[in-house]
Amino acid sequence: MLLWKYLCQCRRCLWGMGLCVGIYAVIFLMFREPLEVIWYPAVLCLMAGIVLFVSGFLAFYKRHKELSRIRDSIQLLWNDLPAPTDPKEEDYQQLLKALGRLRDEEYGRWQTSQAETADYYATWVHQIKAPIAVMRVILQSEDTQANQELLSELFRIEQYVEMVLYYVRLDENASDLVIEECSLDKIIRQAIRKFAGQFIRSRIRLSYAGTDKTALTDEKWLGFILEQLLSNAIKYTEKGSVTISVDDENHLIVEDTGIGIAPEDMPRIFEKGFTGYNGRSEKKSTGLGLYLCRRSAGKLGHKISVTSTVGKGSRFVIDLNHYDPQTE
């Protein structure tokens, strides 16, 4: 309670005032002064004390509210601190400002380090694509079983390289996004073409009937989410099919007939680094794919959800109805 805090803060003054009143009363009683001489000035002092107490509490309440507003603000600005009322508070404010400057310097160094790391990985990704492209051309020059195996592994390397780039870009600001009305059919067909060889090699049937729907999104980032879902569908579907569809509510759905997800793993499948039972048993999962999907969907302002039955398959739904994009 705020009043109790104020009383605790003023306890020394209250004890001192009580002591003074007691000394005042004892002295008057020792000299056998009339009672009126004692209580009349005592009442006046009490009334003055009440006025000072109430005014002090109102000032304390106002200051508490102002400091609470600064505390609850998104970013604490040191210049917003109210003027100190005594030397002790001034010392505390100077200490806070010194800590604030130190924090700002450390944060500036961290931002610089993050930017340099992001630039390095972006450069590395673009540089590594050149030898990957050369290896692909060499392997495609001769259609042998060994080359087909190597092409499949090379495709996985490309996917991991793309994951590195998108992982680094997740924490960049919205300048990386190009939000516009995009054709979902175009995005889906691009992803299908990219994974066509993997579907053929795994002998998994792909069903997609086409769509004329559009969505307010970023074509590149939504394509990345879809590719991660297709990659998982192929990885955990030994036989059967994968179905891509868009319903009337603008939900992009990727459904497979794979091994499904264990019920105890469902609450954590979008956590960073979580592989679950399937990932541990198959030793194929990095624990980043679905984490990147959720973070990317949030970056776009979309929502992603999943339902699954062990032994029957999984159904991932991307709600493309536009919400406020998250500030990463």
Question: Are 281 and 302 within 8 A, CB to CB?
Answer: no
Q: For residues 288 and 201, is the Cβ–Cβ distance under 8 A?
A: no
**Can you give the pTM of this predicted structure?**
0.66
Per-residue pLDDT of the chain (328 residues; tens, 9 = 90+): 777 777 777 777 777 777 777 777 777 777 776 766 667 777 777 787 788 878 887 877 787 777 676 666 655 555 666 677 767 677 777 777 787 788 888 988 988 887 888 788 888 888 888 899 999 899 988 888 898 889 988 998 988 888 888 888 887 665 578 889 999 999 999 999 999 988 998 899 999 999 999 999 999 999 999 999 999 999 899 889 999 999 999 999 999 999 999 899 898 999 888 776 655 555 456 678 899 999 999 989 999 999 999 999 999 999 998 666 554 4
Burial 191-221 (b: 16+ CB within 10 A, else e): bbebbeebbeebebebeeeebebbbebbbeb
Q: In degrees rounded to 5, what are phi and psi of residue 221?
A: -70, -40
Nearest by Cα to 54 from 16, 24, 10? 10
DSSP state of 249: T
